[in-house]
A and B are shown apart, each in its own frame.
Chain A
Amino acid sequence: MIVESAVIKFAGDSGDGMQLVGTLFTENVALMGNAIATFPDFPSEIRAPQGTVAGVSGFQIHFGSSGVHSPGDAPDVLVAMNPAALKANIHNLKANCMILVDSDSFGKRDIDKAGFESNPLEDDSLSGYKVVAAPITSLTKAAVSELGLDNKSADRCKNMFTLGMVLWLFNEPIEYTIQYFDQKFKKKPLIGEANKKALNAGYNYALTTEIIKSAYQVLPAKNTPGTYRNMTGNQSAAWGFMAAAEKAAKPLFLGSYPITPATDIMQELAKHKWSGARVFQAEDEIAGICSAIGAAFAGNIAVTTTSGPGMALKTEAIGLAIMTELPIVIVDVQRGGPSTGLPTKTEQSDLMQAVWGRNGESPIVVLSASRPSDCFDWAYEAVRIAVEHMTPVILLTESYLGNGAEPWKIKRLAEMPAITPRTLNQADSLWKPYSRDLDKLARSWVVPGTAGMQHRIGGLEKDECTGCVSHNPLNHEKMVHIRKEKIQRIANYIPLQKYKGKDANDLLVVCWGGQFGIVLGAVMELQEENKNIAFTNFNYINPLPKNTEEIFAKFKRIIVFELNTGQFANYLRAVLPQFKYKQYNKIQGLPFTVKELKTKFNQILSES
C-alpha cells in the first residue's frame, strides 16, 4: 500500500530504548529522502517506575512525500512495548490504526500496574484497531541465545527486534541500521552482534509469519534538490554557531552549564575541537554567561546556552552585556516552567523573561527559531546581529525543536550571508569607547591587545561621548533612549515579515517559534478548502519586522497561537496596541495538534 505519509509512535518503558529506536528509524527514513518531523517525549526521571504510565517514553515520527509539517496528531502505527505504553496512548489513536504489542509483557501484574481493569488484548476493547501481538521478548531471547549473553543484555535487544519488524512493515531497508551497529559497537562486537541478530530476527519474523498483513510504502519527498542530512535542533544550532564563527573569522567561545533540554548544544560543540571551538563547562549558569562576556570583551564570538531556570540566573549578567554593549548570544531552549517545571516537556513561556526580564530599561534583541533545521540559520543570524550591532542577542528555541529532528538541506559557507564584526584594529585618536555609527548607533569592538586603545568599560552608566562613568541625570535619560533606539534600528537590517494567504483578509493566524510547522499545516488544509485565512510566523521578536503593522492592518481578525497563557499576544498588545488580538493557548507541555487548530480556526471563521 503506497501512502503519502505515515505517523509512527514508539512507546515503551523509559529503560526500553525507545528514543534510540526512534532515532534509528528517523535516520533510516531520512536517508530514503523522506520529509520528516519528530517528537521525542520522555519523563524527566532517568528510570521512572517500571511498567507505569508515568514511566512511558515515546518517540513519534511523521514521514512522507508531502504534507509533513509536524510530527502528526495521532499515530497510524503505535508500537507499545508494554500495557503502560498502550494505556498512555490509547486516548489518542486513529480509528483502525495498527497497534503492535509485545504480548510477553501483558502478564497480569503488568496489566494491573498500567491501570487496566482487564487484559486489553482479550477483552475486545481494541476491536476497532488492527492489533498485532507478537511475543517479542521471548523471540528476541531465542534469537540471541547462542551468543551466551546474560539475561539483561539479551532482554535489552528487544527494541531492535521491534525495529526490525517496523522496518519490514514500511518496506525500509535494514542495511543502514546494520552499518550503524558495526560503527557504534566496534569496541563491543558481542553487543553489536546481538543487536544485529535481533534486528534481523524481527525483520524476518514479520516477513515469514505474515503476522502483519499489509505493508506500507512511503515514497520519498519531493524536496528541493540538494544534499540533505538529518538534524536535531540542538545540533543544528551548534553547527550554526560554528559556521558563523568561521564566517566572521573569529574563534567561537561557549560558556555553559548543563541543563535539559539545552545540554546537547554544548556537548555537540565540545566534540569539534578541530574547528577551534572553545567550550568551557562552567560551575553554574552565571559563570557560563560571565565567561562568555569575558570572551566577548576579548574578541571571541561568545555564546552561552541554557533553559528556563538557567536563564533566570543569567539575568543580571545579560544586563551587564547590554550596558557594556558587548556582543554575545544567549540561547534559551525553553521547557515547561516555572521553576524546575516540566524539564523534558516543551513550552513557549520564557518570552516575557527574554524581552523584559531584567532590572532597568534593558532592551535586547530577541529571535526565535521555528524548525529543528532552521535553528542553524537563527544561530547564525543571532551571531550576525550581535557582532554587527554590538548587542547581546537572545535566541529562543524550544524543547520541541531542540530534540526534534528533520532533514536539513546542507548549505556551504560561501552561500551564507557575510558577517562583518565591528572590530577596530588600529589606534584612532578620535575614537571613544562609546562613540557610535550614525546609522546603527553601534559602538566599535576594540579588544584588549589593541595598541594605544586602552579603555575601561563596566556596568555603571557612562557619559554619552567619552564612555566615562557618569551619574548626570540628563545623560542617563539620553543613554536609555540611545540603547533603545539602537535595538529598534536593527529593524532596518532584517528582512520584511512575510505571510501566507494572498487574497485573504478575514483571519490572520499568528504564531512564533516552534509551533510553526503545526500551525502552518493546519492553515494550509483550510486554505485548500478555500477558507479566508492567512498565516504569519515571527522569528524576529524584538525588534519586530518593519512591515508588521502593515500586514496586521489588512485583516479583520488576528489570532495568536502559543504554548503559554498569551505572552506574545500581550507583547503585541504593548507594541502595536492599535489592533485587537484574539489568542489561543495551550499549557500542557505538549505541542498543538492540527485537529485542535482546525477546530479553532473554523469556529472563528464561522463567527461573524
Chain B
Amino acid sequence: METLQCLYKPKEYASDQEVKWCPGCGDYAIINAVQRAFSELNLKKEDTAIISGIGCSSRFPYYMDTFGFHTIHGRPAVIASGVKLANPELSVWIVSGDGDSLAIGGNHFIHLVRRNINVNLLLFNNEIYGLTKGQHSPTTKQGVHTKSAPFGTIENPFNVGELVLGSQGQFYARVPDTDVKLMASVFIEAEKHKGTSVVEILQNCVIFNDDTHASITAKENKANTQLILEHGKPMLFGENNNKGLRLNGLDLQVVTIGENGITEQDILIHDAHSKSTVLHNMLIQMKLPDFPVAMGVIRNVESSVYDEEFHRQITEGKKEGKYKTVDDLFFSGNTFEVN
C-alpha cells in the first residue's frame, strides 16, 4: 500500500501555547480534527491563515502553529476576505461562534456566503454565548432559560443551513463535535471546495449549555438520530443500516428496508452536487424525533468564485490597460504646459 508522505503529523500543527478551554469543552475535539485534516491535506503552516472573531471558540488561532489573527467580535468573515483577496495563494480558515457569526456578524456572514470567496468557515454552534457566560444566541432553542432570558428565550432560532442556502451558499456541511473522523473528512472536503465552505459544528459547551445537542450526538442512539450523508450513496441510517429516506409526494419519509415492500432501490441517493436547493433544504430541515438529523456534506456545488473573478478582472485590466505605470496615467489626457 502506498503511504502518503505528510509534511506534518497532526500534533505538529499545535502551537506552543497552553490550550485554555474548560475541561470537557467540545472545542478540544474540533481542534484535533482540524489538525488531522491539515495533516492529510499537507497544508504548509506558513501558507495557512486562521482568522477568528471573539468568543471561546475564537481563541483557536493561538493554539495552532500557523499564521493566525484573533480579531474583533463578528468581523472575522471580512478580515478573512481581505486576507484572501490580498493573497489568494493562502489557505484561509475562519473560526467563529454562533454569536460571532450570526448575531453581531450576521451581516458579514450572509455577504461572505453570497460572494462565495474561497475560504472555509468553521462555525462552532453551542447555541449559547460562552465567553460572556451564558446568554442566548441566535441559535438557542425557543423556551431555553438563559442568563439573559431567565423566563425562557422567546426568540426564533436560525437554522444555520437554511441561512447558508438563503444566502446563495454552495457548500454547507453539518458535523457533531463527537465524531473526530467525520469532522476531519468534512474539513478536507471543505478545503477542496472552491468557494465559501460553511461547516456547522454542533459543539458542546459543558459550562453554559451542557448536552444541548445530546439527543442527537449521544453515543447510545446516534445510529438512529444521525443520518450521515455521502455524495452518491443511499441515505441510510439506523443500527442495522436498514432505515432510509424516500420521497413521498413533496415530503421526505423515513422507511425501513424490508417493511411494506421497501427495497434499497426506493432509498434516495444523496446528490451534494445538485444545483437545486430543494432536497438540500429538506435535509437541512430534518429534526428529531420524526427524522434523523442530517450530517456530513449536504451541499457542495461549484459556482463562480469571487476572489478568482476579482483577480481575473485585474489581470485582464493589466493586459489591456493603456498605462503601465502611474507616470503614464498622470501625463495622459488633458494636461497643459506652463513655461
Q: Which residues of B contact A412 (CB under 8 A)?
A: 327, 330
Output the residue of A32, A243, A298, A319 with the most chain B CB within 10 A. Answer: A298
Chain A residues with CB below 8 A from B318, complex form: 273-274, 276
Give Cα A572 to B231, complex, Å: 68
Question: Is A459's CB under 8 angstroms from B71's CB?
Answer: yes
A283 to B114: give the CA distance in the assembly, Å: 11
Report which of B15, B62, B326 forms a contact with A275, defined as CB distance below 8 A: B326
Does chain B have a CB within 8 A of A424? Answer: no
Across the interface, do B86 and A317 meet the contact criterion of CB distance under 8 Å? no
Q: Shortest distance in angstroms between A305's beta carbon and chain B's nearest beta carbon?
A: 15
Task: Flag whether A293 is at the interface (Cβ < 8 A).
Answer: yes
Contacts A448-B87, A458-B70, A459-B70: A31 and B49 contacting too (C-beta < 8 A)?
no
Known: A243-B326, A291-B81, A448-B87. A320 touches B72 (CB 8 A): yes
Q: Which of B68, B83, B325 neighbours the largest number of chain A CB atoms within 10 Å of its CB?
A: B83
B335 contacts A228, C-beta separation under 8 Å: yes
Of the residues A27, A297, A447, contact of B79 by C-beta under 8 Å:
A297
- Indicate if the CB atoms of A292 and B334 lie closer than 8 Å: no
Interface status of A587 (Cβ within 8 A of chain B): no
Q: Return chain A residues, CB-CB under 8 Å to B79.
A: 290-291, 293-294, 297
B320 interface residue (CB < 8 Å to A): yes
Q: Tell me whether B338 and A228 are in contact (CB under 8 A).
A: yes
* Interface membership of chain A positions 410-441, coded 1 if the CB is closer than 8 angstroms to chain B and 0 otherwise: 11110000000000000000000000000000
Cβ-defined contact, A30 with B338, below 8 A: no
Taking a contact as CB atoms under 8 Å apart, the answer to whether B336 and A227 are in contact is yes
Q: SS class of chain A's interface: helix, strand, loop or mixed? A: mixed
Is A473 among interface residues, defined by CB-CB distance under 8 A? no
| Contact in complex: A292, B338 (CB < 8 Å) | no
Q: Does B61 contact A (CB under 8 A)?
A: yes
Check if A526 is an interface residue, CB within 8 A of chain B. no
Instruction: Tell me if B86 and A299 are in contact (CB < 8 A).
Output: yes
- Binary CB contact string for chain A from 526 to 538 against chain B (1 if under 8 A, 0 otherwise): 0000000000000
A-B contact count (CB 8 A): 216
Question: For the complex, what is the distance from the CA of A451 to the CA of B7, rounded to whole Å?
Answer: 13
- CA distance in complex: A455, B336 (Å): 51
In chain B, positions 30-76 with a C-beta closer than 8 Å to chain A are 44-49, 51, 54, 61-62, 65-72, 75
Considering only CB atoms, which chain A residue lies closest to B88 in the complex?
A298
CA distance A277 to B310 in the complex (A): 11
Q: Are A460 and B334 in contact (CB under 8 A)?
A: no
Q: Establish whether residues B86 and A286, one from each chain, have CB atoms under 8 Å apart when the complex forms.
A: no
Chain A, interface size: which category? 35 or more
- In the complex, A67→B330 CA distance in Å? 26
Contact with B along A453-470 (1 / 0, CB 8 A): 111111110000000110
A223 contacts the other chain (Cβ, under 8 Å)? yes
A290 B78 Cβ-Cβ under 8 A: yes
What size tier do the contact residues of chain B reach? 35 or more
B33 to chain A, nearest CB (A): 20
Q: Are A448 and B47 in contact (CB under 8 A)?
A: yes
Task: Find out whether the CB atom of B325 lies under 8 angstroms from the CB atom of A449.
Answer: no
Q: Which residues of B contact A286 (CB under 8 A)?
A: 75, 78, 108
Q: Tell me the minimal C-beta distance from A297 to chain B in angstroms.
A: 6
* A456 touching B61, Cβ below 8 Å: yes
Q: Which of A32, A452, A457 has the most CB of B within 10 A?
A: A457
Q: How far is the CB of A176 from chain B (nearest CB, A)?
A: 8
Is B290 an interface residue, CB under 8 A from the partner? Answer: no
> Which residues of B have CB within 8 Å of A251?
86
> Out of B69, B313, B321, which one reaches A297, CB within 8 Å?
B69
Given contacts A274-B317, A298-B82, A469-B62, contact A317 B338 (CB under 8 A): no
Q: Hey, which chain A residues are within 8 Å of B47, CB to CB?
A: 448-449
| B338:A33 contact, CB within 8 angstroms | yes
Quick one: which of A27, A277, A294, A454 has the most chain B CB within 10 A?
A294
Closest Cβ of chain A to B67, distance in Å, is 4
The CA of A228 and the CA of B71, in the complex, are separated in Å by 44
Q: Which residue of B lies closest to A229 (CB)?
A: B335
Whether A295 and B82, one on each chain, are in contact in the complex, defined by CB atoms closer than 8 angstroms, is yes
Q: How far is the CA of A30 from the CA of B51 in the complex (A)?
A: 49
Q: Which residue of A lies closest to B87 (CB)?
A: A298
- Determine how close the nearest CB of chain A comes to the CB of B254; give it in whole angstroms: 40
Flag if A455 contacts B90 (CB, 8 Å).
Answer: no
Question: Which residue of B has the minimal Cβ distance to A277?
Answer: B314
* Chain B residues within 8 Å of A411, by CB: 330
The B-contacting residues of A in range 262-290, CB under 8 angstroms, are 272-278, 280, 282-284, 286-287, 290
Instruction: Contact check, A410 vs B68: say whether CB atoms are below 8 A apart.
Output: no
Cβ–Cβ contact B320 & A274, under 8 A: yes
Q: Does B303 contact A (CB under 8 A)?
A: no
Residue of A nearest to B46 (CB): A451
Query: A546 → chain B, closest Cβ, in Å?
Result: 32
> Are B326 and A242 neighbours in the complex by a CB distance under 8 Å?
yes
CA distance A96 to B83 in the complex (A): 61
B330 is contacted by which of A239, A273, A298 (Cβ under 8 Å)? A239
Once the chains are docked, how many angstroms separate the CA of A223 from the CA of B339? 8
B253 at interface, CB cutoff 8 A: no
B337 within 8 Å of A (CB atoms): yes
Task: Give residues 296-339 of B contacting A (CB, 8 Å).
Answer: 310, 313-314, 316-318, 320-327, 329-331, 333-339
Residues on A with beta carbons closer than 8 Å to the beta carbon of B66: 454
B residues contacting A by CB (< 8 A) are 15, 17, 44-49, 51, 54, 61-62, 65-72, 75, 78-87, 89-90, 107-108, 111, 310, 313-314, 316-318, 320-327, 329-331, 333-339
- Of all A-B residue pairs in the complex, the 10 with the closest CB atoms, nearest first, are A274-B321, A273-B317, A294-B82, A458-B70, A291-B82, A298-B86, A456-B68, A448-B67, A295-B86, A294-B79
Given contacts A454-B66, A454-B68, 11 further A-B contacts (CB under 8 A): A275-B321, A278-B86, A287-B81, A291-B85, A294-B78, A294-B82, A297-B49, A407-B336, A448-B49, A449-B46, A456-B69
A sample of 14 inter-chain contacts (CB < 8 A) reads: A30-B336, A274-B320, A282-B111, A290-B79, A294-B80, A294-B83, A295-B85, A297-B83, A300-B87, A412-B327, A448-B87, A458-B61, A459-B54, A460-B70
